[in-house]
């Protein structure tokens, strides 16, 4: 592969990593830009500086002739508006990606403000043109964007304010309000770059238009304001470490009852925050690449200085001192690392646009300017006193880079935001087995796209994905089927037992509500897993959704209520309260451990798959299964010992015993299978069906226990019976007494149904 002239300005390694991502057009344009930089821009630097008057008034009225001349040459060569990607702005852009332009921006950054301006790629015009291209109406684009793209005018972006902390854009106080067909603006801005330039014809102003809006991010709006509008007063140009950056400058401005047409509103009321987020992202990357160029230029100056044969200290040339060599090495390493950060961010913007690259942009914004400052500072040190005087560009470069640590969001804000995004990754370090397989599937998808995965590995991973979807589908299908049975059970209960006491009816309603919520939350968690996680970047945010955690809490409550229901029944039929008390103790223990598990998930987002979670979850399932077995044995024992000896009642009790065995076996087996598949089969998702069914089985067991009364009484022959119990004479056996024909069909006072009576009349 033939070498490109860019390797003279960047490392061979970094170019090798990105060369295949450059189109032929981009490579050709980059080569032309390098030639233009070497033959036109570099020789004109000193002349441009000399053509700017020193007079404090005239320097703000001067358009530097050599820069305007170079603009004409650049436009003829097609080296114009290189920052505006055609992929994002088809009508106005050039066929360059952000990655391709990033390399060009680094080269231009070696000349400070001059290089970017010559090719119409200087701030704040770049960001303002992107705002107009992305959000402007056709009329706004015709009036303002086209002249900016042609280099006929310049612009300013007015956001920062003097009396508030503007690093938090929600603090902006400038008032923007509607009066009829006009917008009225009142505010005090400062550090408004470009506002001093005689070519500046447009201010893009951000202010607060809806201070009462509940969302602090929908209170702001953006308005286009012609610079000659009455009411605009430029108070003064601000200086950066003594530099005024004329003729563009950074100005303090007062907007006093400035009126513009309603048509000058950008995008819509309350859309200001959205606009600045879209504007600042790419602009920060442009700043960072230019900063890398400035750092590279400073390192080159340092190398020239320390290898000057006329300079020795303590009997050695400067480059022979170990400390100097170390500074050079560290500078090179830091520049290379920072370049990779910015190229990565540019690539992310190309793939996901600025909104999808916020983390990468933020990292670059606080790392690169600091790095460049450090490199420039080392270069200054190598020059000694000459490094801080007007004979070298290093002092001005240092001042500009120091400002960049504040401009477009200070370092602290970006560090805070990046840190918060990193914390969101923490759940992935404790990622669930199901999410881990989804993660592997996402990686698989990326590797398939790159044609870098063996067929055997592809087959194995696809099998794992099939398991996830199959177990989820089966579990949800079975759970919804049982839920349908629950609906029927509830209907039968309220139809057949209208005379049951209120507390019992309330319990039935509560269980039905919890069961319904469980069904909804399971559906939501599955949708989150299998739909939303694949709409976003597949390698992030694969965490347990809140609905899964909430559903687990509800299942814990359902289990507790059901087991208390049976404990209460057993309590009523025995003098010895130890068994019932032990059942209650186990139910409370299950509830407590279940709550601990839920709190862990809510607090740490995702603990499923960790040892701690497996232990606690295993205890919950094991204790619940043990409690079900104890409940079943206790019910069988007390029913068996309360037989009356009569054939008809013996048959009735036998039915109750059979029901107790079936009920306890079903829930206990489900809990045990849940436990075994969850703990003994790590990496699988076979636990899903049991997890989704266990709560619904408890609900159905309670409903069936209540509804079974009608079944038993209707089947009694030759006469209807009433089950009664004298609770004051334990351990007196349960007796069956004949009922009057008018009371036929009623089964009342059953200890195991906690019924207060009632039935079909």
Judge whether 62 and 52 are in contact, CB under 8 Å: yes
Pull the structure tokens for residue 75.
Answer: 């436009």
| Burial status of residue 450 (CB atoms within 10 A of its CB: 0-12, 13-18, 19 or more) | exposed
- Averages of pLDDT over runs of 10 residues in the chain (761 residues) are 83 90 96 97 94 93 95 96 88 92 96 95 93 96 97 96 90 96 97 95 97 93 98 96 93 98 97 86 84 97 94 87 95 96 92 85 94 97 94 93 90 91 72 50 54 57 66 81 88 88 90 91 79 48 64 86 83 74 86 78 51 65 77 72 56 56 65 69 66 81 77 46 36 35 34 42 36
Pull the structure tokens for residue 25.
Answer: 């057009």
Run of H or E residues at 721: strand 721-724
Judge whether 158 and 190 are in contact, CB under 8 Å: no
Q: Which of 638, 620, 738, 636 lies closest to 679, judged by CA?
A: 620
CB-CB neighbours of 103 under 10 Å: 28
Q: Return d(Cα 223, Cα 217) in angstroms, integer.
A: 16
Cα distance from N-terminal residue to C-terminal residue, the chain: 94
H-only helix segments in 573-610: 578-604
Judge whether 55 and 129 are in contact, CB under 8 Å: no
Residue 603: the pLDDT is 58
Q: Which of 262, 488, 460, 298 lies closest to 374, judged by CA?
A: 298
Residues 6+ apart with CB under 8 A from 95: 23, 25, 26, 86
**How many residues comprise the chain?**
761
Pull the structure tokens for residue 701.
Answer: 């067991």
Judge whether 358 and 417 are in contact, CB under 8 Å: yes
Run of H or E residues at 187: strand 182-193
Residue 137, SS3? coil
DSSP 191-202: EEETTT-TTEEE
Q: Return d(Cα 16, Cα 255) in angstroms, integer.
A: 51
Residue 351: the pLDDT is 87
CA distances from 147 to 73, 125, 154, 282, 360 (A): 18, 11, 8, 21, 32
Judge whether 701 and 693 are in contact, CB under 8 Å: no
Is the sign of the CA dihedral 35, 40, 46, 52 positive or negative?
A: negative
Residue 260, SS3? strand
pTM recorded for the entire structure = 0.60
Long-range contacts of 176-182 (CB under 8 A, 24+ apart): 176/205, 176/207, 176/208, 176/209, 176/221, 176/223, 177/209, 178/209, 178/262, 179/259, 181/261, 181/262, 182/259, 182/260, 182/261, 182/262
Q: Which of 72, 123, 86 lies closest to 290, judged by CA?
A: 123
Fold of 459-714: Rhopdopsin 7-helix transmembrane proteins (1.20.1070)
Residue 711: the pLDDT is 58
Residue 434: the pLDDT is 46
Residues 6+ apart with CB under 8 A from 23: 95, 100
Judge whether 672 and 718 are in contact, CB under 8 Å: no
For the chain, give percent helix, strand, coil, nearest 5: 65, 10, 25
CA angle 79, 83, 85 (to 5 degrees): 105
CB-CB neighbours of 420 under 10 Å: 11
Judge whether 280 and 134 are in contact, CB under 8 Å: no
Residue 730: the pLDDT is 38
CA angle 540, 544, 548 (to 5 degrees): 150
Judge whether 430 and 606 are in contact, CB under 8 Å: yes
DSSP state, residue 753:
T
Residue 737: the pLDDT is 35
Residue 537: the pLDDT is 40
DSSP state, residue 218:
S
Residue 313: the pLDDT is 87
Q: Which of 519, 439, 464 lies closest to 681, judged by CA?
A: 464
Pull the structure tokens for residue 54.
Answer: 């020193």
Q: Return d(Cα 484, Cα 465) in angstroms, integer.
A: 29
Q: Which of 746, 474, 95 lies closest to 736, judged by CA?
A: 746
The reply to whether omega before 591 is within 30° of 0 (cis) is no
DSSP 488-539: HHHHHHHHH-TTS-HHHHHHHHHHHHHHHHHHHHHHHHHHIIIIIHHHS-TT
Residue 543: the pLDDT is 52
CA distances from 22 to 4, 29, 101 (A): 12, 10, 10
Residue 693: the pLDDT is 80
């Amino acid at each position: 592969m033939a070498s490109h002239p860019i390797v003279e300005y960047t490392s061979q390694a970094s170019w090798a990593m990105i060369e295949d991502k450059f189109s032929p057009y981009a490579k050709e344009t980059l080569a032309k830009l390098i030639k233009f930089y070497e033959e036109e821009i570099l020789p004109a630097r000193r002349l441009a500086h000399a053509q700017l008057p020193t007079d404090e008034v005239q320097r703000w009225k001067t358009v530097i002739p050599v820069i305007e001349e170079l603009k004409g040459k650049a436009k003829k060569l097609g080296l114009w508006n290189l920052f505006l990607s055609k992929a994002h702005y088809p009508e106005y852009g050039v066929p360059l990606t952000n990655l391709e332009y990033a390399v060009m921006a680094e080269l231009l950054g070696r000349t400070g403000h001059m290089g970017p301006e010559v090719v119409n790629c200087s701030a704040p015009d770049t960001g303002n043109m992107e705002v107009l291209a992305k959000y402007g109406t056709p009329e706004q684009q015709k009036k303002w964007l086209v002249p900016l793209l042609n280099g006929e005018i310049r612009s300013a972006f007015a956001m920062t304010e003097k009396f508030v902390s503007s690093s938090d854009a929600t603090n902006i106080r400038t008032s923007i309000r509607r009066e009829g067909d006009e917008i009225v603006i009142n505010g005090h801005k400062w550090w408004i770059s470009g506002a001093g330039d005689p070519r500046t014809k447009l201010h893009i102003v951000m202010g607060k238009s809806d201070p009462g809006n509940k969302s602090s991010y929908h209170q702001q709006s953006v308005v286009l304001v012609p610079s000659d509008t009455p009411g605009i007063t430029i108070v003064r140009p601000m200086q950066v470490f003594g530099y005024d950056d004329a003729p563009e400058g950074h100005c303090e401005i007062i907007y006093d009852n400035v009126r513009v047409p309603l048509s000058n509103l950008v995008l819509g009321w309350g859309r200001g925050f959205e606009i600045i987020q879209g504007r600042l992202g790419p602009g920060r990357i442009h700043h960072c690449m230019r900063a890398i160029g400035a750092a590279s230029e400073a390192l080159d100056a340092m190398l020239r200085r320390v290898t000057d044969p006329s300079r020795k200290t303590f009997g050695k040339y400067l480059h022979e001192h170990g400390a100097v060599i170390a500074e050079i090495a560290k500078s090179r390493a830091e520049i290379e690392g920072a370049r990779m950060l910015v190229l990565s961010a540019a690539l992310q913007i190309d793939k996901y646009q600025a909104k999808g690259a916020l983390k990468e942009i933020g990292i670059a914004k606080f790392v690169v300017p600091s790095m460049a400052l450090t490199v420039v500072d080392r270069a200054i040190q190598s020059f000694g006193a000459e490094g801080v005087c007007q004979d070298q560009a290093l002092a001005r470069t240092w001042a500009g880079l120091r400002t960049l640590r504040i401009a477009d969001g200070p370092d602290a804000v970006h560090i805070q935001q990046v840190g918060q995004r990193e914390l969101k990754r923490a759940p992935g370090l404790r990622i669930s087995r199901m999410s881990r397989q989804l993660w592997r599937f996402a990686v698989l998808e990326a590797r398939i796209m790159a044609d870098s995965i063996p067929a055997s590995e592809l087959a194995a991973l696809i099998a794992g994905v099939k398991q996830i979807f199959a177990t989820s589908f089966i579990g949800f299908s079975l759970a919804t089927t049982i839920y349908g049975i629950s609906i029927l059970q509830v209907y039968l209960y309220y139809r057949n037992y209208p005379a049951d006491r209120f507390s019992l009816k309330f319990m039935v309603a509560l269980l039905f509500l919890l069961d319904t919520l469980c069904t909804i939350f399971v559906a939501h968690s599955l949708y989150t897993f299998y739909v939303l996680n694949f709409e976003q970047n597949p390698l992030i945010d694969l965490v347990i959704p809140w609905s899964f955690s909430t559903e687990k809490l509800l299942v814990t409550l359902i289990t507790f209520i059901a087991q208390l229901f049976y404990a209460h029944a057993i309590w009523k039929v025995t003098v010895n309260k130890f068994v019932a008390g032990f059942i209650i103790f186990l139910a409370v223990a299950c509830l407590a451990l279940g709550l601990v598990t839920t709190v862990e998930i809510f607090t740490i987002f995702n603990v499923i798959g960790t040892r701690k979670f497996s232990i606690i979850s295993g205890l919950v399932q094991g204790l619940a299964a043990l409690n079900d077995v104890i409940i079943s044995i206790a019910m069988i024992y007390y029913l068996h010992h309360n037989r009356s000896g009569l054939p008809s009642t013996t048959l009735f009790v036998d039915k109750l015993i059979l029901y107790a065995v079936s009920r306890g076996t079903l829930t206990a087996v489900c809990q045990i299978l849940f436990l075994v598949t969850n703990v003994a089969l790590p990496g699988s998702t076979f636990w899903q069906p049991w997890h989704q069914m266990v709560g619904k089985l408890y609900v159905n067991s309670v409903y069936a226990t209540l509804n079974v009364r009608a079944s038993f009484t209707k089947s009694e022959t030759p006469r209807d019976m009433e089950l009664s119990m004298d609770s004051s004479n334990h351990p007196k056996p349960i007796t069956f007494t004949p009922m009057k024909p008018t009371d036929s069909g009623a089964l009342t006072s059953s200890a195991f149904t906690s019924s207060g009576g009632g039935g079909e009349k």
